[in-house]
Chains A and B, each alone.
Chain A
Amino acid sequence: MADTGTETHVEFRGVCKTYDGRTMVVRDLDLSVRRGEFFTLLGPSGSGKTTCLMMLAGFEAPTAGEISIDGRSVQDLPPRERGIGFVFQNYALFPHMSVRRNLAFPLEVRGVPADQQAERIQRVLEIVRLEGFEARRPSELSGGQQQRVAIARALVFEPNLVLMDEPLGALDRRLREEMQFEIRRIQQDLGVTVVYVTHDQQEAMSMSSRVAVFHGGRVQQVAEPEVLYEEPEREFVAGFIGDNNIFRGRITSVGRGVCDVETPDGVVKAFPVGECRPGQDAVLAIRPERVGLAKPGVFSNEFEARVDGILFIGDHLRLRLNLCGNADFIVKIPNIVGHGALLAGDRVSVGWAVTDCRALPLDGLEGNPEAEPGA
């Protein structure tokens, strides 16, 4: 990430997209992608992330708003003039052409001389580590090899912006992990900007410089992976990224770095995110691994609850509690107590630090897109 500049490469300003004139697939989107960045659009299917990618590539036109690349609006540029490499979900390798001819295609239509073509194809095959496969047809390659050819084809005409639409979706898990490393390595070696679409949060977390989390056609949060995990700003992000215990309460008082939230089991002290005001409803999120068995005086928050279920994982135990109005409150404790020390039905004391429990103000937007003005 050290190579990530601060210069803006791609920018979405107020972009909206609707296909039928009523349902907004993408609403009021502002995003800026920096040069050399590995930028991921993450979200469940139907969240609008692929539509954004298609608009950036030029396959779809925004209903409103503007997309610019290098500060220049690409409104009127057809896909072929945008100079963007695109890796398709199912690769879209031309089945009637050999690997070499697939790779030569973008060079031929650009009128690159034949000797330069051979040189560039050789270089890009080295980059994706696929030398010696030039004469094969795509159908004679494995899924991972096809993936490499697709990436090579998107790079061979030396674009400085490459878009990838769930490129690893068709691969099995082991190959997917291998390709995650490969794609990241290639991106860093070449220093190109990558905009990557996935619904797999683990993939997004492990590969990206920054991630934009999509939900209901709207960006929920844009941040580095660590920040998304540690400091979610929206209920959706808190629930989507990793495991989280989510419950609700009403803010009673707000101080510096701490607020009191009234829950069915008493007052929880939490870290206020954004504009928290007394009297507001809030969502509270605490990670299962940040909840511990309470020792007196250690935690600002201490609660007693009955263990409804217990799952022995090995190195840790997962306890299921009914706490603070959440009947599925999970606590992950390291296995230092030993097997059998805790049983279902036992009452335990648990606690957590103020900074680990985030109070997110309810903004009324999430899960209720129809309430949105201008939608």
Chain B
Amino acid sequence: MARPLSSARFRAAALTLPLLAFVGVTFIAPLGSMLVRSFYEPHVADALPRTLAALRAWDGSSVPSEDTFRILATELRPLDQQRKLGGVATRVNRLEGGMRSTIMDTARALRGAEPDSWREAVIAADPAWGEEAAWLAVRRAGERYTIRHYLNALDLDRDPSGNIVAQSPERRIYVPLLLRTLGVSLAITVICLILGYPVAYLIANASPAKSNLLLLLVLVPFWTSLLVRTTSWIVLLQNQGVVNDLLVAAGVIGDDGRLALVYNMVGTLVAMTQVLLPFMILPLYAVMRSISPMYLRAASSLGATFLQGFVRVYWPQSLPGVAAGSLLVFILSIGYYITPALVGGRTGQLISNMIAYHMQESLNWGLAAALGVILLLAVMSLYLVYNRLVGIERMRLS
């Protein structure tokens, strides 16, 4: 009896294999590889193995020995010839500004040279090699397993003796950005709840024909490309846009006092709220539809005012929808990218825009990965707190 059942179950489960394979190849594997990148960086270690071995024995308090200079020079030469030096130089440069040109110039100057003193030749090629800082940067860039991306992402750094210290104030950007992202997400969630709750209530309690129409209106935005919706906000909100024109025409503001509504935090808030509102309304509606209007009638027959009935009878029963919608909107907005990228300007950027920058522009994938991991951890810890406070079993999507 158990055997045919389990084989039937196995067959049913087997039908999901294509999906699992798809998810594995397109989602889990890249995610895993990014995770690995955040702490594993073999590039420099593989390129300069003997230099790094020599530096490990070095005490760091003075310029290394002649031997070390020679080994560095001989290891730079094949990398230069094979045009692989750029990647190494870039990575060292992230730890010590100017090291990219130092390394590239040195390799160029040493082409074909066979000097008596490598030390003098290398320092002549670039005087930076006469300072410990350059060598320390090479040694640290050569760490195969490293937490420096995480330190970087948390606005921390190491001092020359290797202690973890706070980044100088003007270079602290990621933690404030993460906090701003959390704050903006919270604000968007609250605004969506305030705007969406009455709409969901209306839809759930309207006659079938009206509620279908209203539901359709909520869903219409999904028929339009996100890009189109976001750019149309630019049309509405820009300096010479519809909103400002109307305000000027109505005499609320003067023509010279047009409001900056886009390419800043206001633009990000407005556009993201509009984009995410359906994700609040739909779970709320699903839960509210299951709350019988009889409960409010019962409350009023028992002597409660509408407000008393709402606060004590309706609202508690709608909480699972509030929880589901809020969690959905919050998590979606914490990782939102396109909308802030288009309408956020400089001040309306969120953490995901910074991750994208490091993926696409600075090509510092390790840092991008570390930022992504920290974002993930932040969401997960919030989820745990939320679960402790609200209880995830109280969340219902329908």
Which A positions have Cβ atoms within 8 angstroms of B? 57-59, 78-80, 83-86, 88, 90, 92, 94-96, 105-106, 109-110, 153, 157
Contacts and interface: CB of A to CB of B under 8 A. Distances in A.
Nearest to A85: B301
Interface string B268-305: 00000000000000000000000010110111111111
Contacts of A109: 302-305, 308
Given A57-B301, A59-B301, A106-B302, 5 more contacts: A86-B297, A94-B317, A105-B313, A109-B308, A157-B303
A106 B294 contact: no
A192 to B, nearest CB: 15
B297 A79 contact: yes
A92 B298 CA distance: 7
A92 B292 contact: yes
A92 B294 contact: yes
Given A86-B298, A92-B297, A96-B317, A106 B292 contact: no
What secondary structure prevails in chain B residues at the interface with A? Answer: helix
Question: Which 5 A-B pairs have CB atoms at the shortest separation, nearest pair first?
Answer: A106-B302, A92-B298, A86-B301, A92-B294, A109-B304
What secondary structure prevails in chain A residues at the interface with B? Answer: loop
27 contacts: A57-B301, A59-B301, A79-B300, A79-B301, A80-B300, A80-B302, A80-B305, A84-B301, A86-B301, A88-B294, A88-B297, A88-B298, A92-B294, A92-B295, A92-B298, A94-B298, A94-B299, A95-B317, A105-B299, A105-B312, A105-B313, A106-B302, A109-B303, A110-B303, A153-B302, A157-B302, A157-B303
B295 A94 contact: yes
Nearest to B301: A86
A324 to B, nearest CB: 49
Nearest to A81: B303
Contacts of A84: 301
A105 B312 CA distance: 9
A110 B294 CA distance: 20
Contacts of B308: 109
A86 B298 CA distance: 7
B30 interface: no
A92 B301 CA distance: 11
Q: Which of A59, A90, A96 has the most CB of B within 10 A?
A: A96
Contacts, number: 57
Contact of B297 (A59, A85, A94, A157): A59
B295 A106 contact: no
Contacts of B300: 58, 78-80
Contacts of A105: 299, 302, 304, 312-313
Contacts of B292: 90, 92
A90 B317 contact: no
A36 B308 CA distance: 31
B316 interface: yes
Nearest to B295: A92
B396 to A, nearest CB: 13
A105 B305 CA distance: 12
A84 B298 CA distance: 11
A195 B304 CA distance: 22
B313 A94 contact: yes
A59 B309 CA distance: 15
Interface in B288-346: 292, 294-295, 297-305, 308, 312-313, 316-317
Contacts of B313: 94, 105
Contacts of A92: 292, 294-295, 297-298
Contacts of A83: 303
Contacts of B301: 57-59, 79-80, 84-86
A157 B313 CA distance: 18
A86 B317 CA distance: 21
Nearest to B394: A96
Contact of B294 (A58, A80, A90, A96): A90
A140 B152 CA distance: 55
Contacts of A57: 301
A109 B303 CA distance: 6
A253 to B, nearest CB: 55
A58 B134 CA distance: 86
